[in-house]
C-alpha cells in the first residue's frame, strides 16, 4: 500500500480555492491552516476574513469565521478576542484592506497590544477590484489607476507596514516573509507559527507580512510574478524579523 | 427596590449592567460621555470589558466581533459618531447580530452643536446604513425609561437577532430623576450560532456576503418576514387624554414632556387637547396613532427638528385631518407656552 506522504490539513475545508492560477492566497491559506492544525487549536480558533480576494476565506478555513467590513478586521478581531481571551483569533488581510482603508484599525490594534495574529498579504495591488494601486504599490509600478507608473509626486511612496508597526509598544512580533521559492515558503511557515505561538503565550500583537504575487493583475505568468517579487519587491520590502517578543525579554 | 436619583445617561449605563451586559466599546462624544465614563469605572469591578476605541468606526466593528462571539454588547454615541458607525450597523443587521446602539442626539447637520436635539429621527428610522434593513428604535422620555427601554432593547435585539437603538437626547441624558431598576432583567438567549470555536460541531460563520442574487434575495426576504413580525407585535405607544381630544398632539422623547405640559395648560383653558407619544419609532405605531386620532379634528406634531416624525404621522393619519407642525432645532426646545399658543391658534381656526 502506498504510504501517505501529504494530506490536506483538517483546518481547511474540502472547497476548492477560487483563486487565479499562481495566486499566492492559496499557499498562504495552507500555511495558516497547517499552523493551526499543528498547534492543535482549530476548535478554539476564530478567524476574521477581510474584504479583498480573500473575502471568501471563510469558505476555506475549517473553523469559526467572521467576515469583516473593508479594513475593519482588526477591530472585529479585538471585539472577539476581548470576549474570548483564551481562544485564538487571527485576521487575514490584503494591502488595500490593511494599509489603506484600515490603517487606523491596524495601528491601534497593534498599539493596544491586542493578543491577536494578523496575516498581511502584500501583493502591491487591489486584486479583487481589478488591479488598482495600493499604498504598497512600488514606485514606477503600473496599475490600472497608475497607468504611467506610480509617481511619488502624485501618488506618494510605498508604505513599509512592518517597519511602522514594529515601532509600537504593544507589538510582540513582526516579520516579513515571502513565498517566491520553496525555501521562502518554509520560512513563511515558521514565521506564521511563531506569530501564533506568541499569541498562545499571550505576549501581545503578532504580525506577519507576506510578500505575495498577483499574476492576474500584474499581467505576468505565475513564474514571472515570483521572479518579480524577488527582483522588485525585496529591495523595497526587505525580509526579516523586525521584532520578537523574545528579544524584548518578555 | 427603592428609587434612586440618577442622571439619564448613568441610569442607561446602569440598566445595561443590570441586564447582564459586560461589554462596551465606544468613543467619546458629547452629550453621551457619562455613559462610557460610568462604565469605565464599573466594568473592571465586574470583570467586564470597557474599551475606548480609536474611532466610532472601530467601536461598532468591535461590537460586531463581540456580538458574533455571542455576548451582550453595546455602544453609545451621538450624531457624528453614529454616522461613522453606519457601515458597521448595516453589517450587523445583515449578519443578524443582536446588540444595542445608543444615540444621545445633539444638533446637526455636520458637527452641529452639543445641545439637545431630535435631528436623527430620519437617520435612525429610515436611513441608518446601506441596504434593505431596519433597526428597532426605542425613544425614552424620562430617566426611568432610559433604564427600562435599555433592558427592553437587549431583549428585543436577542429575540429578533437585530440591532436595537435607544434614540434619546442630551436633555434626557443629563437630566436627574428618580429611577427604579427592573429586578427581572431579560434573560439572555442561547446563541448556538456564535463563533466561539468549532469544538465538536461544524464551523459557524458570521458573514455578510452573498454573491448569488437568489441567495441574497432569499436572505432579504427572510429579513422582511422578521421585520413584518416585529411590526405586528412590537409597536409601543402611549396616549394621554386622547379619547375626547379635538386637537391631538404628537411628540416623542423629551419633546413629549413639553407637549404634555401644553396639553394640561390647554385643558385648564377648556381646550380639549390630547397627546400621542410613539415609544417605538421603528416599528412606527401607525395603528395606535390613527386610533388615538380617531375623534380629533386636527393634529399638531411637535419635534426638536424641522419635521421628521411629521412624515410618519402624515402616513398614519392618511390626510384625514389637518396636520400642523411646530419644530425647533439647533438645541432650541419648544416650550409648553409656545406649544399652547399653537394649540390656541389651531383651536380658533377650528371654530372659525
Ligand atoms: C467601504 C468599501 N470600499 C470599497 C470596497 C471595494 N473593494 C473591495 S476589495 C477592495 C480592495 C482589496 O484589495 P486588497 O486588500 O489589496 O486585497 P486583494 O484583493 O489584493 O487580495 C476594494 C477597494 C468595499 N468593499 N468597501
Ligand atoms: S486577482 Fe490577484 S490576488 Fe486576486 S485571486 Fe487573482 S491572482 Fe490572487
What is the ipTM score, two decimals? Answer: 0.92
Q: Does residue A227 sit within a domain?
A: yes
pLDDT band at B209 (very low <50, low <70, confident <90, very high): confident
Q: What pLDDT score does A246 carry? A: 54
Q: Are A73 and A102 in contact (CB under 8 A)?
A: yes
pLDDT in tens, B111-150: 999 999 999 999 999 989 999 999 999 999 999 999 999 9
Phi, psi of A49 (to 5 degrees): -85, 145
Residue nearest to atom 5 of ligand 1 (CA): A70
Q: What pLDDT score does A1 carry? A: 55
Q: For residue A71, what is the enclosing H or E element?
A: none
Structural domains of chain B ordered from first start: 4-189+209-233 (3.40.50.970), 238-351 (3.40.50.920)
Ligand nearest to the CA of A20: 2
A218 lines ligand 1 (CB under 6 A): no
CB within 8 Å: A43 and B199? yes
Partners of residue A61 in chain B, C-beta under 8 Å: 203
Grid cell 443629563 in the structure block, residue: B174
Q: Which of A53, A128, A131, A161 to mutate to test the pocket of ligand 1 (most atoms within 8 A of CB)?
A: A128
DSSP 8-state symbol, A137: P
Average pLDDT on B150-174 reads 98
Burial class (CB in 10 A: 0-12, 13-18, 19+), B268: exposed
Q: Does residue A168 sit within a domain?
A: yes
Cβ-Cβ contacts under 8 Å for A143 (sequence gap 6 or more):
A125, A131, A132, A133, A134, A137, A150, A217
Q: Which of A124, A216, A219, A225 to mutate to test the pocket of ligand 2 (most atoms within 8 A of CB)?
A: A216
Q: What pLDDT score does A249 carry? A: 43
- Please name the residue ranges forming H helices in chain B: 8-18, 34-45, 56-68, 79-94, 121-125, 143-160, 170-174, 213-234, 253-268, 286-292, 309-317, 336-351
Interface of B with A in 203-242 (CB under 8 A): 203-209
Q: How far is CA A234 from CA A44, A100, A122, A228, B289, in A?
A: 35, 21, 12, 9, 68
pLDDT in tens, B256-293: 999 999 999 999 999 999 999 999 999 999 999 999 99
Q: A58, A75, A88, A100: best mutation site toward chain B, by most B Cβ within 10 Å?
A: A75
- B148: which 3 cell numbers? 427600562
Cβ-Cβ contacts under 8 Å for B28 (sequence gap 6 or more):
B36, B52
Q: What pLDDT score does A168 carry? A: 97
Residue B88 contacts A where some CB pair is shorter than 8 Å = yes
Question: What's the number of domains chain A is made of?
Answer: 1
Over pLDDT 90: what percentage of chain B? 97
Q: What pLDDT score does A5 carry? A: 72
A102 lines ligand 1 (CB under 6 A): no
Residue nearest to atom 20 of ligand 1 (CA): A127
Q: Which atom of ligand 2 is nearest to the CA of A212?
A: 3
SS3 B10: helix
Ligand 2 center–CA B290 separation, angstroms: 57
Name the pTM for this structure. Answer: 0.95
Over pLDDT 70: what percentage of chain B? 100
Residue A105 contacts B where some CB pair is shorter than 8 Å = yes
CB within 8 Å: B198 and A55? no
Partners of residue A45 in chain B, C-beta under 8 Å: 197
Q: What pLDDT score does A2 carry? A: 65
Q: What pLDDT score does A248 carry? A: 47
Q: Are A209 and A162 in contact (CB under 8 A)?
A: yes
Q: Does residue A40 sit within a domain?
A: yes
Q: Does residue A13 sit within a domain?
A: no
Interatomic CA distance for residues B203 and B192, integer angstroms: 11
Strand partners, B7: B176
Partners of residue B74 in chain A, C-beta under 8 Å: none
Q: For residue B278, what is the enclosing H or E element?
A: strand B273-278
Q: Which atom of ligand 1 is nearest to the CA of A94?
A: 15
Closest to B329 (Cα-Cα) out of B113, B111, B140: B113
pLDDT band at B208 (very low <50, low <70, confident <90, very high): confident
CB within 8 Å: B61 and A42? no
Q: What pLDDT score does B75 carry? A: 98
CB within 8 Å: A65 and B87? no
A95 lines ligand 1 (CB under 6 A): yes
Q: Are A66 and A83 in contact (CB under 8 A)?
A: no
Q: Does residue A88 sit within a domain?
A: yes
Q: For residue A32, what is the enclosing H or E element?
A: helix A24-38
Residue nearest to atom 3 of ligand 1 (CA): A70
Q: What pLDDT score does B184 carry? A: 93
Q: Does residue A11 sit within a domain?
A: no
- How do beta strands A205-211 and A117-122 pair? parallel
Query: Could you tell me the residue range of the domain that residue A53 belongs to?
Result: 25-243
Q: Please tell me which of the candidates B62, B69, B207 has its beta carbon nearest to residue A75.
A: B62
Q: What pLDDT score does A8 carry? A: 84
- B271: which 3 cell numbers? 381646550
- Give me the residues of chain A with pLDDT under 70, please: 1-2, 246-250
Q: Does residue A10 sit within a domain?
A: no
Cβ-Cβ contacts under 8 Å for A91 (sequence gap 6 or more):
A47, A48, A50, A68, A73, A74, A76, A77, A116, A117, A118, A119
Q: Does residue A154 sit within a domain?
A: yes
CB within 8 Å: B61 and A43? no
Q: Are B289 and B335 in contact (CB under 8 A)?
A: no
Residue A202 contacts B where some CB pair is shorter than 8 Å = no
First and final CA of chain A: distance in angstroms? 49
Q: What is the CATH number of the domain that holds A164?
A: 3.40.50.970
Average pLDDT on B296-310 reads 98
Amino acid at each position: 500500500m502506498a504510504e501517505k506522504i501529504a494530506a490536506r490539513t483538517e483546518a481547511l475545508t474540502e472547497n476548492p480555492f477560487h483563486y487565479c492560477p499562481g495566486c499566492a492566497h492559496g499557499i498562504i491559506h495552507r500555511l495558516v491552516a497547517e499552523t493551526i492544525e499543528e498547534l492543535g487549536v482549530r476548535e478554539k480558533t476564530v478567524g476574521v476574513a477581510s474584504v479583498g480576494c480573500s473575502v471568501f476565506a471563510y469558505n476555506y478555513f475549517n473553523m469559526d469565521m467572521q467576515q469583516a467590513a473593508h479594513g475593519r478586521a482588526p477591530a472585529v478581531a479585538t471585539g472577539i478576542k476581548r470576549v474570548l481571551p483564551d481562544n485564538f483569533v487571527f485576521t487575514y488581510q490584503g494591502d488595500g484592506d490593511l494599509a489603506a482603508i484600515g490603517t487606523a484599525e491596524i495601528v491601534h490594534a497593534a498599539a493596544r497590544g491586542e493578543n491577536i495574529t494578523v496575516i498581511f498579504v502584500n501583493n502591491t495591488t487591489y486584486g479583487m477590484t481589478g488591479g488598482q494601486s495600493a499604498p504598497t504599490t512600488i514606485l514606477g509600478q503600473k496599475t490600472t489607476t497608475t497607468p504611467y507608473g506610480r509617481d511619488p509626486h502624485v501618488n506618494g511612496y510605498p508604505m513599509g507596514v512592518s517597519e511602522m508597526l514594529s515601532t509600537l509598544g504593544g507589538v510582540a512580533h513582526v516579520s516579513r516573509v515571502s513565498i517566491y521559492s520553496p525555501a521562502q515558503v518554509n520560512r513563511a511557515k515558521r514565521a506564521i507559527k511563531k506569530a501564533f505561538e506568541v499569541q498562545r503565550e499571550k505576549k501581545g500583537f503578532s504580525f506577519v507580512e507576506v510578500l505575495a504575487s498577483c499574476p492576474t493583475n500584474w499581467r505576468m505568468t505565475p513564474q514571472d510574478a515570483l521572479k518579480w517579487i524577488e527582483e522588485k519587491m525585496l529591495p523595497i520590502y526587505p525580509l526579516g524579523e523586525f521584532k520578537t517578543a523574545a528579544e524584548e525579554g518578555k | 427596590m427603592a428609587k434612586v436619583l440618577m442622571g439619564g445617561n448613568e441610569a442607561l449605563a446602569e440598566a445595561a449592567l443590570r441586564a447582564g451586559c459586560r461589554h462596551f466599546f465606544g468613543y467619546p462624544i458629547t452629550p453621551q460621555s457619562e455613559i462610557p465614563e460610568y462604565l469605565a469605572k464599573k466594568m473592571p469591578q465586574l470583570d467586564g470589558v470597557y474599551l475606548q476605541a480609536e474611532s466610532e468606526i472601530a467601536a461598532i466593528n468591535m461590537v460586531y466581533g463581540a456580538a458574533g462571539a455571542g455576548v451582550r454588547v453595546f455602544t453609545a454615541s451621538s450624531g457624528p459618531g453614529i454616522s461613522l458607525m453606519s457601515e458597521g450597523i448595516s453589517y450587523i443587521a445583515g449578519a443578524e447580530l443582536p446588540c444595542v446602539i445608543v444615540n444621545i442626539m445633539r444638533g446637526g447637520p455636520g458637527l452641529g452643536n452639543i445641545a439637545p436635539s431630535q435631528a436623527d429621527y430620519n437617520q435612525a428610522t429610515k436611513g441608518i446604513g446601506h441596504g434593505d434593513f431596519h433597526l428597532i428604535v426605542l425613544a425614552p422620555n424620562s430617566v426611568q425609561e432610559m433604564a427600562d427601554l435599555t433592558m427592553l432593547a437587549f431583549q428585543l435585539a436577542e429575540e429578533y437577532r437585530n440591532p436595537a437603538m435607544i434614540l434619546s437626547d442630551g436633555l434626557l441624558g443629563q437630566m436627574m430623576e428618580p429611577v427604579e431598576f427592573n429586578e427581572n432583567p431579560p434573560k439572555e438567549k442561547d446563541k448556538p450560532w456564535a463563533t466561539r470555536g468549532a469544538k465538536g460541531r461544524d464551523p459557524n460563520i458570521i458573514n455578510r456576503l452573498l454573491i448569488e442574487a437568489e441567495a441574497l434575495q432569499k436572505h432579504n426576504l427572510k429579513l422582511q418576514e422578521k421585520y413584518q413580525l416585529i411590526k405586528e407585535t412590537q409597536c409601543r405607544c402611549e396616549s394621554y387624554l386622547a379619547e375626547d381630544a379635538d386637537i391631538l398632539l404628537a411628540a416623542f422623547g423629551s419633546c413629549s414632556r413639553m407637549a404634555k405640559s401644553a396639553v394640561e395648560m390647554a385643558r385648564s383653558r377648556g381646550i380639549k387637547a390630547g397627546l400621542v407619544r410613539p415609544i417605538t419609532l421603528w416599528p412606527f405605531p401607525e395603528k395606535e396613532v390613527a386610533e388615538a386620532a380617531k375623534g380629533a379634528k386636527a393634529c399638531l406634531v411637535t419635534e426638536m427638528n424641522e419635521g421628521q416624525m411629521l412624515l410618519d404621522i402624515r402616513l398614519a393619519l392618511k390626510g384625514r385631518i389637518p396636520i400642523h407642525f411646530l419644530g425647533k432645532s439647533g438645541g432650541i426646545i419648544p416650550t409648553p407656552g409656545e406649544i399652547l399658543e399653537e394649540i390656541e391658534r389651531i383651536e380658533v381656526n377650528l371654530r372659525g
